[in-house]
Chain A
Amino acid sequence: MGNLIFEKVTALEAAKKFKAKFGDLISEPLEFRSETSVQLADAVKIVEVCRYAKNDLDFNYLVDISSLDNYGDDPRWTVVYHLRGLRHGCELRIKTDVGEEKSELPSVIGVWATANWHEREIYDMMGIRFSGHPDLRRILMWEGYPYFPLRKDFPLAGKPSELPGVAFTKLTPMEGGPFVTVAGGYSAQSREPRIRIPETDSIETMGRLERRKEIQEAHGHPKGPGPIEKK
């Protein structure tokens, strides 16, 4: 049983214990806006690191496993584990890098059983494999879907595919681009989702009349180019 049951402990202290145990494998804990994270140097060691976190540091709840596509950078994937201790209420984030040629790291299903579906989702969306996973198959898309949709080189509109009898996909008509809102818009009209032009965003947020005239002269409309003619 964890020896932190009745102690009040902060995430930073737990992270420092973590670093003390594993030395160079774990980076210095970084605390930013009250969230603590550590970087794991070698993805292969993730299982023993997580087992220590669960058994000795009492992080018994795996909140989520998430992945990043660093498209263009060398270790292409970063896998992020969010841990939480339900008894001490501390949260810790562990990040590891995985290279594209390998695209594989050990599964932590032996530590937290809930990792099963999280890892299946990462495999489905990014294509990162987890060794030791008992049932690594797609969870959101269907068996036989040929692409990994959340990779950065996969377009928003999707790619056509066909699996007779199971499912098909088509190219989605984007009509000029994703329609985005401006969160700080001064009126409901200005917050309507449109094809966004960055120069006009400050007008939507601030509503300054002076800039409005400039944009009107440049584009013929006070809010910028219309949806079809994008300058």
Chain B
Amino acid sequence: MRTETEIGYNSKIEGDVVVTTVDAALNWFRKNSVWPMPMGLACCAIELMAAGASRFDISRFGSEVMRFSPRQADCMIVAGTVTYKMAFAVKRIWDQMPEPKWCIAMGACASTGGMYRSYAVLQGVDQIVPVDIYVSGCPPRPEAVLDALMKLQNKISKEPVIEKLMIANL
């Protein structure tokens, strides 16, 4: 039976050997096991919990566990309003995450400050942390969060890992 996969593996011709690039392999490992660090600050956290529960199962996509320790997580999902009071704490948690790490800004408040244009709310978590994917919604549906995770997976699959490591080590 001929199977079509991303890496063009044809078992009849090639047997049990898969030939690929190191980048593609590393990216495949990374994107299929993105363990989120839920920075659940407000109402979006409830929808994030829903995305993690059985109906909208996030672990189908490899996010098997929500790791609350930043040291063990890959992706920080900022779900909720980031106030100025909380801003430094979010930044500290982000700094404690080891590379490779990504950030999803979930919901209007995390993306841009949302409906709170006021003296106490940080107008978007991208002011302190580099965001990869923004999800709109108040709150976004769990399917939107899963869509964001899939877009993040696409983004990860295109990353030039070896090149980045070589540049970092120079």
Pick the contact of B84: A155, A157, A169 (CB < 8 A): A169
Q: What chain A residues lie within 8 Å of B113 (beta carbons)?
A: 172
Beta-carbon contact of B123 and A170 below 8 Å? yes
For the complex, give the distance between the alpha carbons of A174 and B116 in Å.
Answer: 10
Question: Which residues of B103-131 are within 8 A (CB) of A?
Answer: 113, 117-123, 127
Question: Which residues of B86-118 are within 8 A (CB) of A?
Answer: 87-88, 113, 117-118
For the complex, give the distance between the alpha carbons of A170 and B124 in Å.
Answer: 12
Q: What chain B residues lie within 8 Å of A22 (beta carbons)?
A: none
B2 near A: Cβ within 8 Å? no
Q: What chain A residues lie within 8 Å of B87 (beta carbons)?
A: 167-168
Beta-carbon contact of A167 and B123 below 8 Å? no
Question: Which residues of A130-155 are within 8 A (CB) of B?
Answer: 140-142, 147, 149, 154-155
How far apart are B81's CB and chain A's nearest CB, in angstroms? 13
A21 near B: Cβ within 8 Å? no
Contacts A166-B88, A167-B85, A167-B87; is A140 near B120 (CB within 8 Å)? yes
Contacts A157-B117, A158-B118; is A172 near B88 (CB within 8 Å)? no
Beta-carbon contact of B120 and A149 below 8 Å? yes
Main secondary structure of the interface of A (DSSP, over half): loop
Q: What chain A residues lie within 8 Å of B117 (beta carbons)?
A: 156-157, 172-174, 178
Contacts A156-B118, A157-B117, A172-B113; is A142 near B85 (CB within 8 Å)? yes
Q: What chain B residues lie within 8 Å of A158 (beta carbons)?
A: 118-120
Beta-carbon contact of A154 and B85 below 8 Å? no
How far apart are A170's CB and chain B's nearest CB, in angstroms? 7
For the complex, give the distance between the alpha carbons of A221 and B157 in Å.
Answer: 48
Pick the contact of A154: B84, B88, B119, B127 (CB < 8 A): B119
Task: Give B123's nearest chain A residue, CB to CB.
Answer: A172
Q: What chain A residues lie within 8 Å of B85 (beta carbons)?
A: 140-142, 167
How far apart are B164's CB and chain A's nearest CB, in angstroms? 31
Q: What chain A residues lie within 8 Å of B88 (beta carbons)?
A: 165-167
Beta-carbon contact of B119 and A159 below 8 Å? yes
How far apart are B91's CB and chain A's nearest CB, in angstroms? 11
How far apart are A176's CB and chain B's nearest CB, in angstroms? 11
List 25 A-B residue pairs with CB atoms under 8 Å apart, sorted by A's residue number: A140-B85, A140-B120, A141-B85, A142-B85, A149-B119, A154-B119, A155-B119, A156-B117, A156-B118, A156-B119, A157-B119, A158-B120, A159-B119, A166-B88, A167-B84, A167-B85, A167-B87, A169-B84, A169-B120, A170-B123, A170-B127, A172-B113, A172-B117, A172-B119, A173-B123
